[in-house]
Structure 1
Amino acid sequence: MIRRPGHLADTEPPTGVPTDVAGLDLERAGLNVEAAGGSAERFWHALAAGQAALPAGASTDLVVTLAGIAGWRAGVLGLRGDALAHLAEVPPVAAAAALGIPETELDAFAERQRVDRFWWPGRAAARGYVCAVGGFAGLGGAWTAPPGDARPLDDDGSFTVRTGERWWRVDADVWGSRLVALDREPPPGHGAGATASLLTFAESYLAWVYVPETA
């Protein structure tokens, strides 16, 4: 497993250079992805991979829809719902290329994602581990003390965790994650129906999102 923050589904991300499209500012789109918590570089690569699989003369509207999928693939949590809603509007070969998954797995991925934000075809092989968040600040991570007291919150894919005297909110899905420092300890969530957990380990500066393989 990885020893720094990251997503196990992102070990072989799409690659490529996107093609300019009239009416779509790719530079600004990448910066918007970055501002929303994703990676501009991953966005451009994912979009390029999807564009390469589109038919010649694809409309700007189709590329814009593909860009939304690429933005989700690049780690923007807020684009998940929209990307799933419009996935069927993009040729399957292009959608799969942008997501970096085999086309034969696309239908299963979309179906499982609608009920499980942490699923991807390789999760079973990863023994249910999805992503690591946090990390030691001295190595580019977020935390100066190991995490502990991890708990689920009521929002899907959300957790809280403590490092030293500081509490944090963690939001995540299969492609992205977000850490927000909190002013105080949050009220306990019920975690009703939650299948995922946030795991911490002694002397480790990482916290892991984990889904039991029966889920």
Structure 2
Amino acid sequence: MIRRPGHQADVEPPRGVPTPVPGLDLDRAATAVVAAGGSAARFGHALAAGQAQLAADAPVDLVVTLAGIAGWRAGVLGLRDDALARIVDVPPPAAAAALGLAEADLRAFTDRQRIDRFWWPGRTASRGYVCAIGGFAGFGGAWTAPPADARSLAEPGAFAVRTARRWWRVDADVWGSRLTELPAEPTAAAPRGGGATASLVTFSESYLAGVHVAESA
């Protein structure tokens, strides 16, 4: 179980600083990442790690593609599909470094991600816990009451949860999450059969909700 908001895959603190590239406004890119729900610090770290595996004269278009992958790694949910589609255009050492993966794990990661948005090589070690969301507003979190009545929604990676009389939508994947207040109680999705099953779980007297994946038997 995770005891504060965050993702289990974020084991390495973001420290890297990307190398300036003519024609690519890194400050603007970082601002866009934050506006889309990601972390500017993690974006910079991921892009710097990927750039370190490219030639110094790498084409700008290649660095732009790498920046999109870094944006996904920084928690921008909307970049997931594009990053998975274009990751083949980036040399594997650079793509793996940007994602914080060993190069040997890159193929397995991309293959599994296409069917399971919550998979990464360390999920088994985390006992299926992917991320924690919410937290007490008095400590910088999102909620003034503990979450309850969690349920899955129809869209992949989407859940709903109630805090007191307010309903929230949770969207998440392995790297990022987003909270949106809903106008009314949503309808739960029908159970999905087969494969790993993700759910949003709540804990007694906790202000956190967690995405957990139970592997199929």
TM-score by length of 2: 0.96
CA displacement 1:49-85 (0-9 Å, x = unmatched)? 1001112310000000000000000000000000000
Q: Which amino acid aligns with 2:34?
A: E
Moved more, 74-83 or 182-191: 182-191
Q: Tell me the residue number matched to 2:184.
A: 184
Q: What secondary structure does 1:141 align onto?
A: coil
Q: 1:200 aligned to 199, 202, 210, which one?
A: 202
Runs of 4+ in 1 over 3 A off after TM superposition: 191-194
Q: Which amino acid aligns with 1:208?
A: G
- Calculate the aligned-residue CA RMSD, in Å: 1.3
Moved more, 183-192 or 199-208: 183-192
Q: What secondary structure does 2:132 align onto?
A: strand
Q: Tell me the residue number matched to 2:110.
A: 110
CA displacement 1:126-155 (0-9 Å, x = unmatched)? 111100001111111001111010000000
> Structure 1: which 5+ runs fail to align?
none
Q: Which amino acid aligns with 2:62?
A: L
Whether the 8 Å CA contact 2:109–2:120 is kept in 1: the answer is: yes
Q: What secondary structure does 2:127 align onto?
A: coil
CA distance in 2: counterparts of 1:119 and 1:28, whole angstroms = 30
CA displacement 1:82-115 (0-9 Å, x = unmatched)? 0000111111111111001111100000000010
Whether the 8 Å CA contact 1:127–1:213 is kept in 2: the answer is: no
Q: Which amino acid aligns with 2:4?
A: R
Q: Which amino acid aligns with 1:111?
A: D
Following TM superposition, by how much is the alpha carbon of 1:14 offset from its aligned partner in structure 2, in angstroms? 5.2
Q: Tell me the residue number matched to 1:126.
A: 126
CA displacement 1:143-184 (0-9 Å, x = unmatched)? 111101000000000000000010000000000000001121
CA distance in 1: counterparts of 2:13 and 2:85, whole angstroms = 22
CA displacement 1:21-57 (0-9 Å, x = unmatched)? 1110000000000000101111111101100111231
Q: Which amino acid aligns with 2:178?
A: R
CA distance in 1: counterparts of 2:173 and 2:149, whole angstroms = 20
Identity of aligned residues (%): 72
Moved more, 134-143 or 9-18: 9-18
